[in-house]
Amino acid sequence: QSALTQPASVSGSPGQSITISCTGTSSDVGNYNLVSWYQQHPGKAPKLMIYEDVRRPSGVSNRFSGSKSGVTASLTISGLQAEDEADYYCCSYAGVTIHVLFGGGTKLTVL
């Protein structure tokens, strides 16, 4: 099964909003409410930003939100800040055999 599809890069100016898409299939993203999103700064550990499609862990800024429509999940970051510049990865449960699939990652540049 192929990885989830994310755009390679997105950019935005401070204060703006951006959305990163994550497209899967009816066997993964479209079949379970189990998409999670991770932020990774260079050389650092990935950090959970969204889980179960739309839930935000305590301590994560409410500028980060998740949504889903059909086989495409999205991460929206509002009020962009310089510290948001990082790589973002989506992940979806894909059944007991495969377990989870990750997207290829999206590099966010804050202009």
Count Cβ atoms within 10 A of the Cβ of residue 51 and give its class: 0-12 exposed, 13-18 middle, 19 or more buried: middle
Tokens (6 digits) for 78: 């509002």
Nearer to other proteins, 39 or 80 (CB): 39
By the 8 A CB rule, do 68 and 91 touch? no
Q: Tell me the torsion sign for CA atoms 93, 12, 69, 106.
A: negative
88 sits near other proteins (criterion: CB under 8 A):
no
Nearer to other proteins, 15 or 57 (CB): 57
Strand runs (DSSP E) across the chain, as ranges? Answer: 9-12, 18-23, 35-40, 47-50, 64-69, 72-77, 86-95, 99-102, 106-110
Site for other proteins in 62-81 (CB under 8 A): none
Q: Considering only 7-15, 52-60, 65-73, 77-85, which stretch makes contact with other proteins by CB under 8 A?
A: 52-60
Could you give the string, one character per residue 6-45, with x where binding to other proteins holds by CB under 8 A and - elsewhere? Answer: --------------------------x-x-x-x-----xx
Q: Considering only 19-27, 50-58, 65-73, 74-82, which stretch makes contact with other proteins by CB under 8 A?
A: 50-58
Contacting positions for other proteins (CB under 8 A):
3, 32, 34, 36, 38, 44-48, 51-52, 55, 57, 89, 91, 93, 99-100, 102-105
